């Protein structure tokens, strides 16, 4: 069974631009969560989607948004990019939502803002 | 507040030896799960082991085991017979009903041949 797939693997943008990252979960998984990983802040939760609905949101500004499609694939969008948005963005999927579901991570998208 | 503390930024161990990584956490939730993830240089986050908070028995997974002390909110990871492939960043994390993982800052483990 294929794992979580994130595209693109690397991305370079400039300040003020916007970016869309994609995540395809493991087949059959319906929950997708997004995390931001930076050297300074570590791993921080962005949001979770389940059945095309945002179930939970972390403490990030409204420039960070996402959506989930009927096939459970998810996209994350960041508008008006800032230098501080440079990070590794990780997507994780699980069968369903809930505390007992282990999350399986993708390889991440490395976003660099110039 | 939900927090996870890993007090050892870096550790090293000789190949075939045993090493223990420490983790403490704080949550007011009664229902939660605890995890250890490893992140090798390839950067993919890999689940190592998980523990249900309501279970007293410590989880084990081959060479990996945990020492879960619920009252002390402590969740350490023991790696036995360390292998070169165990070299990675190790993150302790827990998840509550809101289904978002809270991560520690990580421990960089180096296995020395």
User: So what's the pLDDT on residue B110?
Assistant: 97
**Could you report the per-residue pLDDT of B53-100, keeping only the tens digit for each?**
888 899 999 999 999 999 999 999 999 999 999 999 999 998 876 667
What one-character DSSP code corresponds to residue A9?
A: S
Cα(B100)–Cα(A31) distance, rounded to whole angstroms? 11
Is it the case that residue A4 has pLDDT exceeding 80? yes
With 0-12 / 13-18 / 19 or more C-beta atoms within 10 angstroms meaning exposed / middle / buried, residue B74 is middle
**Could you report the per-residue pLDDT of B32-54, keeping only the tens digit for each?**
889 999 999 877 899 999 998 88
**A-B contacts (CB, under 8 Å):** 59
Q: Which residue of B has its CA nearest to A110?
A: B43
In order, the DSSP letters of B31-87 are S-EEEEEEE-TT---EEEEEEETT--SPPEETTEEEEEETTTTEEEEEE-S--GGG-
Cα(A67)–Cα(A46) distance, rounded to whole angstroms? 12
Q: Which residue of A has its CA nearest to B89?
A: A42
- Residues of B with CB below 8 A from A43's CB? 91, 93, 101, 103
User: So what's the pLDDT on residue A1?
Assistant: 67
Compute CA distances A60 → A49, B22, B62, B103, whole Å: 15, 29, 38, 16
**Cβ separation of A102 and B50 shorter than 8 Å?**
yes
Contacts of A24 (CB under 8 A, 6+ apart): A4, A5, A6, A73
């Amino acid at each position: 069974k294929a794992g979580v797939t994130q595209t693109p693997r690397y991305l370079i943008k400039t300040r003020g631009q916007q970016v869309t990252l994609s995540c395809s979960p493991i087949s059959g998984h319906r929950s997708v969560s997004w995390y931001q990983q930076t050297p300074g802040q570590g791993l921080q939760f962005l949001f979770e989607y389940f059945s095309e609905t945002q179930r939970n949101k972390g403490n990030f500004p409204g420039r960070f948004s996402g959506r989930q499609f009927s096939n459970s694939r998810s996209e994350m969008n960041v508008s008006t990019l800032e230098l501080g948005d440079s990070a590794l963005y990780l997507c994780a999927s699980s069968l369903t939502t809930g505390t007992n579901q282990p999350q399986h991570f993708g390889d991440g998208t490395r976003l660099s803002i110039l | 507040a939900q927090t996870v503390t890993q007090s050892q930024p870096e550790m090293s161990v000789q190949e075939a030896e045993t090493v223990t990584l420490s983790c403490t956490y704080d949550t007011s939730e009664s229902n939660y799960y605890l995890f250890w993830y490893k992140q090798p240089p390839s950067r993919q986050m890999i689940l190592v082991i998980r523990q249900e908070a309501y279970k007293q028995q410590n989880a084990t997974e081959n060479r990996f085991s945990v020492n879960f002390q619920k009252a002390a909110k402590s969740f350490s990871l023991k790696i036995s017979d360390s292998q070169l492939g165990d070299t990675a960043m190790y993150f302790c994390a827990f998840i509550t009903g809101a289904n978002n993982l809270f991560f520690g800052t990580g421990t960089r483990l180096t296995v020395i041949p």
